[in-house]
Amino acid sequence: MRNESKTVAVLGAGTMGSGIAIVMARAGHRTILFDVNENNLKRGIETVHGFFDKSVQLGKLDATAGQTAKDALVGSTDLADLAPCDVVVEAVFEDLQVKKDLFGRLDEIVSKTTLFHTNTSTLSVTGIASGSRLPERVVGTHYCNPAPLMKLVEVADGRHTAGWAHKATEEFLGSLGKVSVVTKDSPGFIVNRFLIPWENSCIRALEAGVATKEDIDAAVLGAVGHPMGPFRLLDIVGLDIHQQVATRLYEQLRDPRFFPPPMVERMVAAGDLGRKTGRGFYEYDNTRLFGS
């Protein structure tokens, strides 16, 4: 796969964008990390470099491989730099118009055969694809957070996605060491479609006083085979993120199981967003999300 090195752009240098850029550079693809904001871009590149430095420190990569991966990455704030790309992956802010506009502008810059991947988690792939004059090249590729560690990518075709684009996407994801599952372009795909109502029902059980948060977490761990109880997981995901995703899914599905329970709104209002603020359902001494 490494001999088929491609030129890949990742748009948006936030958590997901930098994570996906790590995946691309690690797989040996020439990677352009794009962000309109110079500071975001700098932070994103630091995240990628930091990841590879840490991997070398931990002995997971040898020093040469670490340097090669770092060298594979360049940053840009100019869309015109994306002209040579074989694949572009957008991971910008979850806003339909922003994503559509981006694909529309890229139409003018890249070749007609460039694949357009959207990492949306809650918007419709078809809707985003409608921003491109060639919607047949647009495929939904939903990575899990943290992207460098999680193997799963949900692949969803829009209404107009072409068979060649889907096939090329699955092959490309294979070259990244990812495992793809194929799902319909429906709200929440597979993981969020089932996770959000599950988390909401756990929150409602807590609101109803069925058991304490500690007991619910422990009971789920010991009876269902989940790696983490629902409240520990919500604290890592972030209550604000849960609220956003749940609300977006509810707006599309109009099914009350997706609507974030009142406790979520209260916690977000209080700034108790989870680990990243030091307090969510539980309290934390440090705000590191992973590896602490």
Partner 1 sequence: MNQFHRIGVVGLGTMGSGIAQVLAASGRDVVAVEADQTRAEAGIAAVGAFLDGGVARGKVSDDEKRATLARITTSTSLSDLADVDLVIESVTENPEVKREVLAAVAAVVGDETPIVTNTSALSVTALAASLPNPARVAGLHFFNPAPVMRTVEVVRALQTDQDLVARLVTLVDSLDGKQPIVVKDRPGFLINALLLPYLNDVIQEYDDGLATAEDIDLALKLGLGYKSGPLEMLDMIGLDVHLHATENAYAATSDDRYAPPPLLRQMVDAGHLGTKNGKGFRTGEKNTR
Residues in contact with partner 1 by CB under 8 A are 144, 150-152, 154, 179, 181-184, 186, 189-191, 193-195, 197-198, 201-202, 205, 210-211, 215-216, 218-228, 257
Q: Which is nearer to partner 1, 74 or 195 (CB)?
A: 195
| From 40, 119, 124, 192, the catalytic residue | 192
- Closest approach of Cβ 154 to partner 1, in Å? 6
We find the least distance from the C-beta atom of residue 260 to partner 1, in angstroms, to be 17
- Closest to partner 1 by CB, 146 vs 278, is 146
What minimum distance in Å lies between the beta carbon of 97 and partner 1?
A: 27
Look up 18 and say whether it is catalytic.
Answer: no
| Three-state helix/strand/coil letters over 128-139 | HHCCCCCHHHEE
Residue recorded with tokens 């799902």: 183
Q: Does residue 76 carry a catalytic annotation? A: no
**Of the candidates 203, 200, 222, which has an alpha carbon nearest to the alpha carbon of residue 213?**
203
Active-site entry in 18, 55, 121, 130: 121
Distance CA 190, CA 34 (A): 28
For the question of residue 154 being annotated catalytic, the response is yes
Sort 2 into a burial class: Cβ within 10 Å, 0-12 / 13-18 / 19+.
exposed
Q: What is the DSSP string of 80-145?
A: GGGTT-SEEEE---S-HHHHHHHHHHHHTTS-TT-EEEE--SSS-HHHHHTTSS-GGGEEEEEEPS
User: Between 133 and 159, whose beta carbon lies closer to partner 1?
Assistant: 159
Q: Is 214 a catalytic residue?
A: no
* Shortest distance in whole angstroms from residue 116 CB to partner 1: 22
What amino acid positions are annotated as catalytic residues?
A: 121, 142, 154, 192
